[in-house]
Amino acid sequence: MTDSQTTVGPLGTNPTAPAPAGVRTAADVVTPEVVAQLTRGVVGSGRTANHTPFTGEKLADLPESTPEDVATAFERARAAQPTWAATPVRQRAAVLLRFHDLVLQRQAEILDLIQLETGKARLHAHEEVQAVAVVARHYGRKAPSYLRPKRHTGAVPVLTKVSELRQPRGVVGHISPWNYPLELSVGDALPAFVTGNAVVMKPDTETALTALWARDLLIEAGLPAEVFQVVLGDGPVVGPAVVKHADYVSFTGSTRTGREVAQAAAARLIGVTLELGGKNAMLVLHDADIEKAAAGAARACFSSAGQLCISIERLYVHESVADAFVERFAARTKALRLGSALAYGADMGSLVGEAQLETVKRHVEEAVAKGAKLVAGGVHRPDIGPLFYEPTILEGVEAPMAVCTEETFGPVVSLYRFTEEEEAIGLANATPYGLNSSVWTRDAKRGHQVAARLRTGTVNINEGYASAYGSVQSPMGGMKDSGLGRRHGSEGILKYTEGQTIAQQRLMPIGPAFGMDDEKYAAFMSRSLRVMKSLHLR
């Protein structure tokens, strides 16, 4: 790298990461043979296409599904589901464990596809590989115990024998966005498969090849092809058709679309999980390790160019450390290398689409016009690619500015200084969203106390987002407008099941018996209930 490429100047000077010699291009990766192989998995009679954000060029011609195609996909999935559900759970779990190994072995292929379809840096694409591997391992190992029939004490102990079964829901409709196309498509579908469901998936068209590649890999790992159907096309057309036929819906995307999906699911009385937007806050307390907090903030604000639902868009820093923090955070931000090569080296990639770029520009320009100060970035970089935008730090942001309250979903963070911890907690909670937050302190006890008062589904202490997200035995999801339901842990798998209670009555019925009249029976039952409580029955 030359000196000029590493120079850190005042604003708008992020260095570029040069492409190493001999790296692959889009044409090397997305060949006609690859497209033909992957798109065999789509039920679609129309035509559409997707594009790479790196250059704006077309990547692949793709099938497009009509609402009738969606109905066909559900018919096929429904026909195949009972056989899959009858497969022993250990066999289903073994598919996930093989998938874990395959995705790690073949990661170079999927890293190329994720980069090309999303425009993200390779390191951020690798976060998706890690995330699906962890989820596959967890449910591959733990599904048999999550799903094992449970014995419970019955209505009348000894006389009533009870077991709780977990039945698959049937066919799950799974709708996912473009920003984490491997993890949010197949990663979130793995627990649905292992519980014996079939899935009809609608990934975003712009990132369809990633989801289709993962489908092929799951089939290679042993999943019957028919239980995994894929449909593609316009969200407002294909999405509602998926909800119309599904037995359960798993949706990840914006809060606006999530509300529509919830209404359609409510009308059909089917369950739904909604993983929605955020306006996530990081609190840097007075005793934080400033160096580590600045490095953590650079990761948490600019991973995937900020197009990460759990990324940090609001930074609250204690005034006693604010100057030192800003200096370090700004230096790190300005040093982030931007690039589009299919190789490691760049620290940040591109935005995914024109609409995203417009939102980022609008939020930054409006804030600056109304008096906010640019500490770093604020510059569109078409010299690297049409949708590149520098990682941006703003100070002096106030409530009427859109960037203060709306999700930007781009590489833009607003920094606020506070004096009292109480004030910072209040400000962090003063949003309709409640997805993720982060607290930095050297005092672990204080960190936990503050964390418990933050109204977000996940809180990371001395990390931005990855500690909580990667801890897949625990639930992950949003409070308030950030969602409904959870992925990961027991909630993330049991939601794909219906609880079924089977109670077998033995020796005597629950009702008057042995010649008792109603009054005697009522007195007998009242005595029995008192005894049961004194025996500490639950």
Measured distance CA(18)–CA(155) in Å, rounded: 70
Q: How many C-beta atoms surround the C-beta of residue 113 within 10 A? A: 25
Amino acid in the structure at residue 325: F
Measured distance CA(137)–CA(471) in Å, rounded: 12
Of 72 and 311, which has the nearer Cβ to ligand NAD? 311
Residue corresponding to tokens 């009385």: 269
DSSP, res 225: G
Burial class (CB in 10 A: 0-12, 13-18, 19+), 67: middle
Q: Closest separation between CB of residue 309 and ligand NAD, Å? A: 3
Choose which of 41, 168, 239, 349 interacts with ligand NAD (CB under 6 A): 239
Cite the DSSP H helix spans in 351-431: 354-369, 402-405, 421-429
240 binds ligand NAD (CB under 6 A): yes
Cβ atoms of residues 377 and 411 within 8 Å: yes
Residue 117 binding ligand NAD, by CB under 6 A: no
Q: List the x/- string, 410-439, binding to ligand NAD by CB under 6 A.
A: -------------------------x----
Our CB check for ligand NAD shows the closer of 98 and 244 to be 244
Q: Which window, 149-157, 251-259, 419-427, 509-517, contacts ligand NAD (CB under 6 A)?
A: 251-259
Binding of ligand NAD by 276 (CB under 6 A): yes
Burial (CB count within 10 angstroms: exposed 0-12, middle 13-18, buried 19+), residue 234: exposed
Output the smallest distance, CB 315 to ligand NAD, in A.
18
Q: Is residue 235 close enough to count as binding ligand NAD by CB under 6 A?
A: yes
Q: Cβ of residue 81: shortest distance to ligand NAD, in angstroms? A: 22
- For 387, counting Cβ atoms within 10 Å of its Cβ (0-12 exposed, 13-18 middle, 19+ buried), the class is buried
Q: Which regions of 10-57 does DSSP assign to beta strands (E)?
A: 46-51
What does the DSSP 8-state code read for residue 203?
Answer: -
Asked if 115 interacts with ligand NAD (CB under 6 A), we say no
Question: Within 162-181, which residues bind ligand NAD (CB under 6 A)?
Answer: 175-180
Given 257, 350, 441, 497, the residue binding ligand NAD (CB under 6 A): 257
**252 in contact with ligand NAD (CB under 6 A):** yes
Q: Which listed residue (80, 102, 184, 394) binds ligand NAD by CB under 6 A? A: 184
- Least separation in angstroms between residue 274's CB and ligand NAD is 8
Q: What letter does residue 105 receive in the DSSP assignment? A: H
Site string for ligand NAD, 369-388 (x = CB under 6 A): --------------------
| Overall residue count recorded for the chain in this entry | 538
How big is the site for ligand NAD, counted in residues (CB under 6 A)?
29
Check if the beta carbon of residue 318 is closer than 8 Å to that of residue 287: no
Q: Round to whole Å and give the CA distance between 102 and 107.
A: 8
Q: Which residue in the set 109, 164, 226, 260 belongs to the binding site for ligand NAD (CB under 6 A)?
A: 260
| Residue 261 makes contact with ligand NAD by CB under 6 A | yes
Q: Which is nearer to ligand NAD, 36 or 237 (CB)?
A: 237
Q: Is 15 near ligand NAD (CB under 6 A)?
A: no
CB nearer to ligand NAD: pick between 132 and 147: 132
One of 25, 55, 167, 254 touching ligand NAD (CB under 6 A): 254
Residues 54-113 interacting with ligand NAD (rule: CB under 6 A)? none
Catalytic annotation present for 291: no
Who contacts 135 (Cβ-Cβ below 8 Å, separation ≥6)?
A: 183, 187, 190, 191, 472, 488
Nearer of residues 210 and 441 to ligand NAD, judged by Cβ: 210
Catalytic residue among 127, 128, 275, 407: 275
483 sits near ligand NAD (criterion: CB under 6 A)? yes
CA–CA separation, 169 vs 191, rounded Å?
Answer: 12
Tracing tokens 């010699």 back to the chain, one arrives at 21
- Taking a C-beta distance cutoff of 8 angstroms, is the pair 374, 394 a contact? yes
The distance of closest approach from Cβ of residue 364 to ligand NAD in the complex, given in angstroms and rounded to an integer, is 18
Please select the residue that binds ligand NAD; options are 191, 478, 489, 492, rule is CB under 6 A: 478
* Strands lying side by side in the sheet with 312-318: 373-376, 392-395, 412-418, 312-318, 280-284, 436-440, 458-461
Q: How far is the CB of 530 from ligand NAD (least distance, A)?
A: 48
Complex with ligand NAD: residue 196 or 239, whichever CB lies closer: 239
**Cα distance between residue 476 and residue 184, in whole Å:** 13
Pairing of strands 392-395, 412-418: parallel
Distance CA 240, CA 26 (A): 32
Residues in touch with ligand NAD (CB under 6 A)? 175-180, 184, 202, 204, 235-236, 239-240, 252-254, 257, 260-261, 275-278, 309, 407, 409, 435, 478, 483
Give me the active site residues, please: 275
